């Protein structure tokens, strides 16, 4: 079984190029992280549901080309993946438009065969998921996923949660989002939130406040990402600031947090210290934001990290 199972949704992406035309690719927060974990030499599986259409086939082919294990992907006949479209204004600010309400990934834990997916999760060394993952599921699906995390915990698996809060995914229902996040944190052993998201959802005044709140749920290892401000790492009862070693002017910040998480988690799985892992995360994210798109070409990534 794969060392890490990443859970969530991968969608069809349409992004407008400089010529005004749209180019098609694929993306999704936990999928991006899974790809970078696999590139770092960590055996990684992706858990989701897809359709039986040409785009689903292309997603599976992409996953295979990146070395991802796909035995936790459920095919749903007659369905198609979600779609998102990216537009960029004159200042380079990006806006996302989504068509995903009927995507099969939303019912992963309600499909026939969801138990087989759950078994893959509890057999892994680490289960990785995000706030976007949680926003996909109904209360039934959430209940089954959270119960799976409990079994994974009993078996000693790491449960790694990236807050990644997007209000639209929760229909701007902040109380429900907070409740679901709290239940997820109670079942997590590692949290990799972004301060901007935590401030939006919880009103945290500082990364230190984020760590203080999250540790009350029993999470032992917390890394708060704060963009150019670096990361605040709490592990083994100690909190240290790990700055970005080299500031760069980003070309595209898409995937920065996803790639940091992959760099951090890969280093930790290889036995490196939390501080060294944060530096690895910064290095990978620094390479990713110098290129367009969440998943950069392999050649562009080479030399960015030493792991």
- What is the rounded distance in angstroms from the CA atom of residue 95 to the CA atom of residue 252? 13
Closest CA to 269 of 193, 190, 153: 190
Q: How far lies 228's CA from each of 111, 167, 211, 257, in Å?
A: 41, 23, 18, 12
Strand 231-235 and strand 221-225: pairing? antiparallel
CB 15 within 8 A of CB 23: yes
Burial of 250 (0-12, 13-18, 19+ CB in 10 A): middle
Q: Active site residue: 162, 204, 252, 258, which one?
A: 258
Tell me, letter by letter, the H, E, C secondary structure of 232-285: EEEECCEEEEECCCCCCCCCCCCCHHHHHHHHHHHHHHCCCCHHHHHHHHHHHH
Catalytic residue status for 90 = no
Token digits of residue 130: 């995000």
CA 165 to chain centre: 11
What is the CB neighbour count within 10 angstroms for residue 138? 12
- What is the rounded distance in angstroms from the CA atom of residue 122 to the CA atom of residue 115? 11
CB 87 within 8 A of CB 16: yes
CA 109 to chain centre: 18
Q: Please list the active-site residues.
A: 258
């Amino acid at each position: 079984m794969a060392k890490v199972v990443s859970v969530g949704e991968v969608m069809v992406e349409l992004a407008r190029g400089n010529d005004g035309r749209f180019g098609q690719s694929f993306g999704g927060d936990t999928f991006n992280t899974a790809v970078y974990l696999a590139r770092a030499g960590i055996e990684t599986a992706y858990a989701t549901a897809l359709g039986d259409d040409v785009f689903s086939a292309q997603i599976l082919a992409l996953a295979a080309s990146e070395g991802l294990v796909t035995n936790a992907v459920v095919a749903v006949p007659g369905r198609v993946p979600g779609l998102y479209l990216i537009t960029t204004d004159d200042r380079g600010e990006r806006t996302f438009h989504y068509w995903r309400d009927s995507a099969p990934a939303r019912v992963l834990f309600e499909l026939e065969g969801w138990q087989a997916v759950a078994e893959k999760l509890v057999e892994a060394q680490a289960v990785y998921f995000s706030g976007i993952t949680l926003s996909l599921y109904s209360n039934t699906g959430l209940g089954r996923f959270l119960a799976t995390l409990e079994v994974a915990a009993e078996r000693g698996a790491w449960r790694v949660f990236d807050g990644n809060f997007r209000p639209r995914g929760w229909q701007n229902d902040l109380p429900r989002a907070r409740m679901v996040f709290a239940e997820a944190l109670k079942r997590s052993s590692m949290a990799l939130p972004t301060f901007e998201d935590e401030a939006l959802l919880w009103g945290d005044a500082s990364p230190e406040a984020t760590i203080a709140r999250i540790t009350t749920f029993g999470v032992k290892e917390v890394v708060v990402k704060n963009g150019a401000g670096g990361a605040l790492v709490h592990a083994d009862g100690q909190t240290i600031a790990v700055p970005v070693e080299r500031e760069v002017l980003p070309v595209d910040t898409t995937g920065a947090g996803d790639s940091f998480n992959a760099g951090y988690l890969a280093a930790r799985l290889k036995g490196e210290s939390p501080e060294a892992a944060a530096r690895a995360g910064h290095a990978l994210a620094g390479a990713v934001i110098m290129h367009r798109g969440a998943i950069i070409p392999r050649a562009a990534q080479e030399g960015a990290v030493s792991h």
